[in-house]
Amino acid sequence: MPDVLISTIVPAVNLLDLLYIPLGLVTAPLWLRKRREGWDERFGHVDAMFDPEEIDTDLPCIMLHSVSVGEVNALRALVPMLSGKAHVFVSSTTDTGLARARSLFGTLDHVSVVRYPLDCSWMVKRFLNAVQPDMVGLVELEVWPNFIKICAKRGIPIGIINGRISARSYKGYRKLRVLLRPTFARLDFACVQDEQYAERIEAMGVPNERVQITGSMKWDSISTEPNTEPSERAKTIAREMGLDLTRPIVVAGSTGPDEEGLMHESVPDDVQLIIAPRKTERFDEAAVAVPGCVRRSSGEQGRGATRFLLDTIGELSAVYELADLVIMGRSFNDQYGSDPIEPAASGKPVLIGERHSDFQVAIELLTQSGGLRVVERNQLGRVVGELLGDADLRAHMGRSAQDCVQAQQGASGRHMDVLLRAVIRPDEGA
Q: Establish whether domains 3-18+36-221+411-422 and 232-408 are of one fold.
A: yes
Mean pLDDT of 191-199: 95
User: Quick check: helix, strand or coil at residue 408?
Assistant: helix
Active site residues: 71
Q: Are 419 and 161 spatial neighbours (Cβ–Cβ below 8 Å)?
A: yes
pLDDT tens profile 376-418? 999 999 999 999 999 999 999 999 999 999 999 999 999 999 9
Q: Are 347 and 402 spatial neighbours (Cβ–Cβ below 8 Å)?
A: yes
Report d(CA 125, CA 129) in Å as an integer: 6
Cβ count within 10 A of residue 271: 17
Judged against a pLDDT cut of 70, whether residue 158 lies above it is answered with yes
Per the DSSP assignment, residues forming a β-bridge with 88 are 62, 111
- DSSP character for 145? H
Per the DSSP assignment, residues forming a β-bridge with 373 are 351
Judged against a pLDDT cut of 70, whether residue 421 lies above it is answered with yes
Report d(CA 114, CA 126) in Å as an integer: 13
Mean pLDDT of 223-244: 89
Mean pLDDT of 112-118: 93
CATH 3.40.50.11720 for domain 3-18+36-221+411-422, yes or no, is yes
Comparing 6 with 247, the larger pLDDT belongs to 247
CATH 3.40.50.2000 for domain 232-408, yes or no, is yes
The pLDDT value given to residue 265: 97
Per the DSSP assignment, residues forming a β-bridge with 350 are 326, 372
Q: Are 89 and 114 spatial neighbours (Cβ–Cβ below 8 Å)?
A: yes
What are the extents of the domains in the chain?
3-18+36-221+411-422, 232-408
- Read off the pLDDT band of 41 (50, 70, 90): confident
- Report the percent of the chain where pLDDT is more than 70: 89
User: Quick check: helix, strand or coil at residue 122?
Assistant: helix
Least confident window among 22-36, 91-105, 283-297, 403-417 = 22-36
Cβ count within 10 A of residue 407: 12
When the pLDDT of each residue in the chain is averaged and rounded to a whole number, the result is 89
**φ and ψ at 52, to 5 degrees?**
-55, -30
Quick one: three-class SS letters along 215-236?
CCHHHHCCCCCCCCCCCHHHHH
Which residues have C-beta within 8 Å of that of residue 222, sequence separation ≥ 6? 76, 317, 341, 342, 345, 346
